[in-house]
A and B are shown apart, each in its own frame.
Chain A
Amino acid sequence: MKCDEIRGQFSAYLDEELDAQARAKEEKHLDGCASCHAAWESYCALHHAFASLELEELPADFSANFRARLAKERKPIPPKKKLYQRAWIRVVAACACLLLVIGLVDWSWPSLNADTLNNATASEGMPTYELYTQDDSIASDSSAYSAGSNDFAISANDGEKVREESSNLQAKEQDMERKIIRNWNLSLQVADFEVAFDALSQIATTYGGYVVSGESYDSYSNAYRSGYIRLRVDAGQANAAVDEIKELGKVENQSFYSDDVTTEYYDAQARLVQYEAQESRLLALYEQATTVEEIIAIESELTSVRYEIDALTGQLKYYDQLTQLSEISITLYTPASDTQSVTLSGWSAFASDVRAGFLRNVNAVLNFFLAIVVWVLSHAPVILLFVLLVLVIFFWYKKRKKKKNKQ
């Protein structure tokens, strides 16, 4: 039994492919077992016979033939990259994926596209949002007027008593002249800078005002000339003045803002009346004063009251000035003749198209990935089953191949 085992290892022992332990076992047995030793000797004989064989020489004409054959060969071609490694395949695959994604997105979310398209057309109709709101602010000129009364109307909801109070106040307010500071900002593109400048000064005087400041400068590249002019015109005629200014060139930008100082104005006025009353009382007291202490005390009181009166008077004067004359700031541009021809009329439409499209596609991509996640999660049982099936087939195939190889 043991001998069979030993003889079974002869082949590996002969080729020196046994590990140290097995080899030692082999050697020990062969030393002790005469029959196995004899078998071993004869086993080696065949190997020695093979070893003693000289390798046969190649046919004499082989080398020459091969050289001639090799000469006919073309230069070895570098290996073609596997299909998925080739650049064009990758590009095509990427394009296909992209198309698929776009197709899927368009197909799956038609409502979304409709929404965003509506947005796009809406913004196309109104190329620049800024201009849109500015127009709005000018249109709401009158709403700015009634800002104060709006406040009252809101608080009126609180109760009957408040309503009464507010209506009183409203009545009172109506008696009073509203004090509103109104300012305009305009950007104009004009053909001739000097002419426009003169015309603006003319307008200022025509509408009962004056030029506050004016400056002009050339751009760094001399591409255009620009200037900044501030006018003051009579508040009542300001709208007419602005309309006339707009005639001077192409309006690129305009804004209007107003500041309602009615409350502050009448507050100051009321306080002035109080202080003036206090002053006259103090003066009456002053007449009656007898002691030095009394005189000094009253004088110091008078000084502080007069200080307040001066400050309030100054504030009221300032408000009067501001509300009587509206300020109009005008920025003037004169494009250089060579750049004047460049007009990008389609630019804003183009930009908004790009913007709308970009937003739409970002949304679409996000939704697509969300959909993939949903799909994968919802199909998880099916996917799991499929993976299992593939694995089973794969291992079965591998086993079969191995079996075949063993044969």
Chain B
Amino acid sequence: MSNKKDKAPRPSRIPAEEWDLICRARTGDGRAFELLIAQYSKRIYNIGLKMLGSSEDAADMTQETLLKAYRNLPRFRGESAFFSWLYQIAVNTCRDMMRSAYRRHENVFSDTDYEDAYAGKVADYAHMPESVYTEKETNAYLQALIDGLTPQYRLAVTLREIAGLSYADIAEVTGVSIGTVKSRLSRARAAMQKQLAQDMEQYPDLLRLIGKGGVKGEM
């Protein structure tokens, strides 16, 4: 059990307890791995829900992410925090699934087309389903708001609002600069605010769903 590699010195960014679990999981200890990912799997699932929209896809994505993490654990050297590494895998898995879904849907085979399809666009709310207003459920409406965002903006908002990451962490996970994260969030929120303001005019009931402040004034 005591392979030299498993006794690797603990990187300073990783807490001792977590590092211990990582080392044990590396040797094939499934129980240790489950403990290691216990606090993250739910968040990953919720990231999946927001990014992919369906609970089935989100569960698939979560399992895929965790398995990838398990397989690649020996490659984790603690250069970033463990959760950051794990979310990176999740984000990549999401991207892959979204790409293949897009391909299936649009019958387009190149990734460049996929990226270009959303180029310059922050959000597209032309296809907001009617049900989100009538169901009177906050979650459904918020999901619809996020769904309308193009992938990059959707990812930024998800990581910030659902996973609760700092700008620096989002930058690390998505591989862009902090400045980019800042501007993406700002633009995504502006787009969502605008849509929210519009919807509120049409469906005043939303005011109750979205909470105390209400939405006033033009953005």
Cβ of B41 within 8 Å of any chain A Cβ, yes or no, is yes
Q: Which residues of B contact A10 (CB under 8 A)?
A: 186, 189
* Most chain B C-beta atoms within 10 Å of own C-beta, residue among A10, A39, A55, A77: A55
Cβ of B129 within 8 Å of any chain A Cβ, yes or no, is no
User: Do the beta carbons of B62 and A58 come within 8 Å of each other?
Assistant: yes
* Most chain A C-beta atoms within 10 Å of own C-beta, residue among B41, B62, B211: B211
User: Do the beta carbons of B142 and A53 come within 8 Å of each other?
Assistant: yes
The interface of chain B, by Cβ under 8 A from chain A, is 5, 25-28, 30, 33-34, 41-43, 45-46, 49, 55, 59, 62-63, 66-67, 70-75, 115, 119-120, 138-139, 142, 145, 152, 160-162, 166-167, 175-176, 180, 182, 185-186, 189-190, 192-193, 196, 209-217, 219
Cβ of A51 within 8 Å of any chain B Cβ, yes or no, is yes
Please, how many angstroms separate the alpha-carbon atoms of A56 and B52 in the complex? 14
Q: Which residues of A contact B167 (CB under 8 A)?
A: 12, 15, 17
Chain A, Cβ-Cβ closest to B168: A17
Given A43-B219, A53-B138, 18 further pairs, Cβ under 8 A: A12-B182, A12-B186, A15-B160, A15-B167, A42-B193, A42-B215, A43-B189, A43-B193, A45-B215, A46-B210, A48-B212, A49-B209, A53-B142, A58-B59, A62-B59, A71-B30, A73-B70, A79-B75
Cβ of A121 within 8 Å of any chain B Cβ, yes or no, is no
User: Do the beta carbons of B142 and A38 come within 8 Å of each other?
Assistant: no
Please, how many angstroms separate the alpha-carbon atoms of A8 and B176 in the complex? 20
Q: Which residues of A contact B75 (CB under 8 A)?
A: 79
Please, how many angstroms separate the alpha-carbon atoms of A77 and B184 in the complex? 38
11 contacts between A and B (CB under 8 A): A11-B186, A15-B160, A45-B211, A55-B162, A56-B45, A56-B46, A66-B63, A69-B67, A76-B70, A76-B72, A405-B176
Please, how many angstroms separate the alpha-carbon atoms of A407 and B116 in the complex? 9
User: Do the beta carbons of B74 and A76 come within 8 Å of each other?
Assistant: yes
Can you list the 7 inter-chain pairs with the closest CB atoms, starting with the nearest? A75-B28, A11-B186, A45-B213, A50-B161, A41-B213, A42-B215, A79-B75
Q: Which residues of A contact B33 (CB under 8 A)?
A: 70
Please, how many angstroms separate the alpha-carbon atoms of A407 and B115 in the complex? 8
CB interface residues, A 372-405, toward B, < 8 Å: 404-405
Chain B, Cβ-Cβ closest to A72: B67
User: Do the beta carbons of A49 and B62 come within 8 Å of each other?
Assistant: no
Known: A15-B185, A55-B42, A59-B59. A405 touches B213 (CB 8 A): no
Closest CB-CB distance, A143 to chain B, in whole Å? 75
For the residues of B in contact with A, the DSSP-based class is helix
Please, how many angstroms separate the alpha-carbon atoms of A111 and B211 in the complex? 93
The interface of chain A, by Cβ under 8 A from chain B, is 7-8, 10-12, 15, 17, 35, 38-39, 41-53, 55-59, 62, 65-67, 69-71, 73-79, 404-407
* Most chain B C-beta atoms within 10 Å of own C-beta, residue among A8, A11, A405: A11
Contact of A76 among B28, B34, B55, B192 (CB under 8 A): B28
User: Do the beta carbons of B176 and A46 come within 8 Å of each other?
Assistant: no
User: Do the beta carbons of B46 and A55 come within 8 Å of each other?
Assistant: yes
Q: Which residues of B contact A8 (CB under 8 A)?
A: 186
User: Do the beta carbons of B62 and A35 come within 8 Å of each other?
Assistant: no
Closest CB-CB distance, B48 to chain A, in whole Å? 10
User: Do the beta carbons of A39 and B217 come within 8 Å of each other?
Assistant: yes
Please, how many angstroms separate the alpha-carbon atoms of A139 and B71 in the complex? 84
User: Do the beta carbons of A76 and B162 come within 8 Å of each other?
Assistant: no
Chain B, Cβ-Cβ closest to A70: B30
Q: Which residues of B contact A70 (CB under 8 A)?
A: 30, 33-34, 66-67, 70
Q: Which residues of A contact B193 (CB under 8 A)?
A: 42-43, 46
User: Do the beta carbons of B63 and A65 come within 8 Å of each other?
Assistant: yes
User: Do the beta carbons of A76 and B182 come within 8 Å of each other?
Assistant: no
User: Do the beta carbons of B138 and A49 come within 8 Å of each other?
Assistant: yes
Closest CB-CB distance, A338 to chain B, in whole Å? 51
Known: A15-B160, A48-B211, A407-B115. A58 touches B42 (CB 8 A): yes
Chain A, Cβ-Cβ closest to B218: A39
Q: Which residues of B contact A404 (CB under 8 A)?
A: 115
Please, how many angstroms separate the alpha-carbon atoms of A168 and B103 in the complex? 119
User: Do the beta carbons of A79 and B74 come within 8 Å of each other?
Assistant: yes
Closest CB-CB distance, B55 to chain A, in whole Å? 7
User: Do the beta carbons of B67 and A73 come within 8 Å of each other?
Assistant: yes
Contact of B213 among A15, A42, A53, A55 (CB under 8 A): A42
Please, how many angstroms separate the alpha-carbon atoms of A62 and B48 in the complex? 14
Q: Which residues of A contact B5 (CB under 8 A)?
A: 78
Q: Which residues of B contact A11 (CB under 8 A)?
A: 182, 185-186, 189-190
Closest CB-CB distance, A29 to chain B, in whole Å? 15
Chain B, Cβ-Cβ closest to A66: B63
User: Do the beta carbons of B212 and A45 come within 8 Å of each other?
Assistant: yes
Please, how many angstroms separate the alpha-carbon atoms of A141 and B62 in the complex? 101
Please, how many angstroms separate the alpha-carbon atoms of A8 and B182 in the complex? 11
Closest CB-CB distance, A53 to chain B, in whole Å? 6
Chain A, Cβ-Cβ closest to B143: A53
User: Do the beta carbons of B120 and A67 come within 8 Å of each other?
Assistant: no
User: Do the beta carbons of B142 and A49 come within 8 Å of each other?
Assistant: yes
Q: Which residues of B contact A66 (CB under 8 A)?
A: 63, 66
User: Do the beta carbons of B192 and A46 come within 8 Å of each other?
Assistant: yes
Q: Which residues of A contact B214 (CB under 8 A)?
A: 41-42, 45
Chain B, Cβ-Cβ closest to A44: B213
User: Do the beta carbons of B71 and A77 come within 8 Å of each other?
Assistant: yes
Please, how many angstroms separate the alpha-carbon atoms of A78 and B26 in the complex? 8
